[in-house]
Amino acid sequence: MVFALAGNPNTGKSTVFNALTGAHQKIGNWPGATVEKKEGMLKKRYQKAKKPAKVVDLPGTYSLSAYTKEELIARDFVVHTKPDVVIDIIDASNLERNLYLAAQFKELGANLVIALNMMDVAHRRGQKIDVKKLSELLGCPVVPLVADQGKGIDELAEVSLLAAEGKIKQRPISINYGKDLEEELEKLSKHICQDIPALAEKYGPRWLAVKILENDADVISKVCEEDKSICGSGLESFSKDAEERLGEPVDITIASRRYGFINGIIKSSLQKSPEERIIRSDQIDRIITNPLLGIPLFLLIMYAMFQLVFLLGEPLMLGVEAGIGAFASVLVSLLHSVDSPPWFSELLMVALVEGVGNVLIFLPNILLLFLAIAILEDTGYMARAAFVMNRAMQKIGLHGKSFISLVLGFGCNVPAVMAARTLKNEDDRLITILVNPLVPCAARMEVFVFLAAAFFAPEAAGQVVFSLMLISFILIAAMGLLFRKSIAKQEKQPFVMELPPYHVPTLKGLFMHMWQRTKVFVQKAGTFIFLVAIIMWFLASYPQSAEYGGPESYIGMAGHVIEPLFQPLGFDWRGTVALIFGFLAKEVVISAFGVLYGVADDASLGSTLALAWTPLQAYVFMVFTLIYVPCFATIAVIKQETNSWKWAGFAILYSTVLAWIAAFLVLHVGTALGYG
């Protein structure tokens, strides 16, 4: 005796399988596939005096089409092995969705038992299922279950055994596909019975006819193997006739009628209380994704996030700063005690303390920022924010799907540029790629967090970073419009978005997210940034005759050559050099400050910089960093994705020119307003 356990994914199939079989399970793969196969023997207490029953867990599927290997495995098993009973585990709280598979099992002629699992969830959602009515309409036994509490398992085993022994009769059901299609099905069924009787006996002529009209590749190849004469134009003529009569593709009509049949069953057997029908997630979405409220809410959440990051981060940051100061003192004593050569001591102090150490001081703020982003992501809010922004993007000429790429840009512009591949139209792709570097990536956020904390009080620092986000959005909109008008007109490409459900984030999940990102940040500080700091130290220390970081040092000479370009923005040669090194990776900007401004023993980098720059200069620097080209990796990917150095070069040029103009305007408007 064989029981096949089927069902949609996530319906509690494994729980039912374990409850029916206990510990006696065999795990392997389905022949010719890497899909897991589980088998077990029905517990002895259920079998009593009856024949032993093997329970086979079929792969979780939504239908019995031939589109995936899981569907084919499930279908072939039912057809070839002919299990004594097929137990279809259904999620009672999503009855409509789950009945699609059940209807297909009935069409296939399986000896079906419906296990209506998660009855408690359905009850909580205010759904009342008339189990008796459902059983009548489906023509098979229906057993209500709460599998994870063990409720209903005994009844399921008992009913399945009775069904397998033929003591519970099945009533065959036949979905009415409509007059036009039914006539076509009848004609085709007759041909099948005459020409391929062996297959007709195995699958049933009507089922084969439906599948042929659905254009099921697996069935068509089986039919062709059996009888070549019916193959090709012979089969196609049936589909064509039906299509002409229906005025639409047959597979669409068949699936639609099947859903119609299920709707009929649902109307007769399921009562939903109106106030419970709209589940909480939908209610929240009505506010969060509201066309009028969505964007103001998003901006409010962003504002609150930055404010919290700086207000909570300030005391923690002072603690880390004290720790790095203590480490520097220990390092100095240690180097002194081992008589380390002066150049080596200087190198270590510059690269480790002033380069890497100054990046790490801002770790608490970065950590809090990552935590806030992790909360927004894990709750499912980020997906909503992206969806809300998408509406606005459509208005400015960006393709709807661009937002997927732009959202990823908040993490890193490299995968974000690559994500533009989802856009089929070349012009849409190009525009998305070109505006993507204007999205502030995590590395640039680190620079903003560092400078905002150094130059502004914690209450104002959050507002400063928030204002940079607003500038970013405005520029994305403006450049999107400009590129759309100058590169290509928008082609309508509508789509629908499935948003993930809201979740209460788990502490473990949040910690994992935060830790993964922080780990990357710390690793980068300890490797790449350390290495760049060493290179910068070398360039600032040599030639030997030059004063450290003076105009005669290599870095000083290069800085002075470029300085005139950035002087109108108020940057000295050190700021200019930091921006140039920022092309390698944005975090390097912070360590460049440490190396180039040569922090005094008793001062922090923030306080040293605050003596050299005004808050307005710092803000202008942030605006430039926000807009100019993110890093060489992004440029390399732009070249790879556009397959053109021309567009990669254009991305560098336009973003740098735009950054220069924006920074210039901010400097002069700020000065005019008295912030200078």
- For position 542 contacting another protein by CB under 8 A, the verdict is no
Identify the residue among 22, 150, 232, 415 touching another protein (CB under 8 A).
415
Q: Is 210 in the site for another protein (CB under 8 A)?
A: no
Q: Which is nearer to another protein, 249 or 598 (CB)?
A: 249
Interface positions, 606-635, toward another protein (CB under 8 A): 633
| Residue of the chain from 23, 49, 338, 496 that contacts another protein (CB under 8 A) | 496
Work out whether the CA dihedral 621, 624, 627, 631 comes out positive or negative.
negative
| Residue type for position 663 | A
Min dist CB 415 to another protein, Å, is: 5
- Closer to another protein by Cβ: residue 374 or 540: 374
Say whether residue 382 binds another protein (CB under 8 A): yes
Binder among 176, 493, 506, 567 for another protein (CB under 8 A): 493
Question: Which of 633, 617, 613 shows the shortest CA–CA distance to 625?
Answer: 617
Closer residue to another protein (CB): 336 or 519: 519
Query: For tokens 């596939």, what's the residue?
Result: 33
48: buried, middle or exposed (CB in 10 Å: 19+, 13-18, 0-12)?
exposed
Closer to another protein at the Cβ: 366 or 596? 366
Using CB under 8 A, which of 498, 504, 611, 643 touches another protein?
A: 498
Q: Which of 520, 565, 653, 661 is close enough to bind another protein by CB under 8 A?
A: 520
Judged by CB under 8 A, which of 19, 443, 529, 616 binds another protein?
Answer: 443
DSSP character string of 348-376: HIIIIIIIIIHHHTTHHHHHHHHHHHHHH
Token pair belonging to 272: 């939903």
With respect to another protein, which residue has the nearer C-beta, 546 or 633? 633
Residue of 345, 422, 490, 614 that binds another protein (CB under 8 A):
422
278: left (phi over 0), alpha (psi -120 to 50) or beta: beta
Calculate the CA dihedral of residues 204, 209, 215, 216 and round it to 10 degrees. 0
Q: Name the pairing type of β-strands 54-57 and 36-41.
A: antiparallel
411 forms part of the interface with another protein (CB under 8 A): yes
Q: Which DSSP state fits 587?
A: T
Q: What is the dihedral of CA 506, 496, 252, 114, to 10 degrees?
A: 20
CB of 115 to another protein, least distance (A): 19
Estimate the crossing angle of helix 131-138 against helix 95-108, to 10 degrees: 30
* Integer CA distances (angstroms), 609 to 313, 321, 599, 614, in order: 20, 15, 9, 9
Shortest distance (Å) from residue 361 CB to another protein: 17
φ, ψ dihedrals at 26, nearest 5°: -125, 125
The reply to whether 407 sits near another protein by the rule CB under 8 A is yes
Between residues 145 and 386, which has the closer beta carbon with respect to another protein?
386
Strand order in the sheet with 85-91: 25-29, 36-41, 54-57, 2-7, 85-91, 112-117, 142-144
- Least spacing, CB of residue 660 vs another protein, in Å: 26
CA-based nearest residue to 323, from 353, 288, 292, 289: 353
Q: Does 323 bind another protein (CB under 8 A)?
A: no
Phi, psi of 88 (to 5 degrees): -95, 115
> Is position 100 an interface residue for another protein (rule: CB under 8 A)?
yes
CA angle 175, 179, 181 (to 5 degrees): 70
Q: Residue 235 interacts with another protein (CB under 8 A)? A: no
One-letter amino acid identity for 644? Answer: S
365 binds another protein (CB under 8 A): no
Based on the shown chain and the rule CB under 8 A, indicate whether residue 441 belongs to the binding site for another protein: yes
Scanning residues 240 to 269, which ones bind another protein (CB under 8 A)?
247-249, 251-252, 255-256, 259-260
Binding residues for another protein, total number by CB under 8 A: 67
94 sits near another protein (criterion: CB under 8 A):
yes
Of 513, 624, 626, 662, the one binding another protein by CB under 8 A: 513
Comparing CB distances to another protein, the nearer of 289 and 553 is 289
Widest Cα–Cα separation across the chain: 101
Residue of 170, 390, 402, 604 interacting with another protein (CB under 8 A): 390
x/- contact string, 17-56, with another protein (CB under 8 A)?
A: ----------------------------------------
Task: Compute the distance between CA of residue 237 and CA of residue 539 in angstroms, rounded to an integer.
Answer: 78
What is the closest distance, in whole angstroms, from the C-beta atom of residue 89 to another protein in the complex?
16
Which helix (H) or strand (E) element contains residue 137? helix 131-138
Which tokens is 85 given?
């009973």
Output the smallest distance, CB 518 to another protein, in A. 9
Residue among 12 and 556 whose Cβ is closer to another protein: 12
Buried (b) or exposed (e) across 151-190, using 16+ Cβ within 10 A?
ebbeebbebbbebbeeebebeebebebbebbeebbeebbe
For another protein, the closer of residues 487 and 497 by Cβ is 497
Q: Which positions lie near another protein, rule CB under 8 A?
A: 62-63, 65, 67-68, 94, 96-97, 100, 247-249, 251-252, 255-256, 259-260, 282, 285, 289, 377-378, 382-383, 386-387, 390-391, 394, 400-401, 403-405, 407-408, 410-412, 414-416, 418-419, 422, 441-443, 446, 493-500, 513, 516-517, 520-521, 524, 528, 633, 637
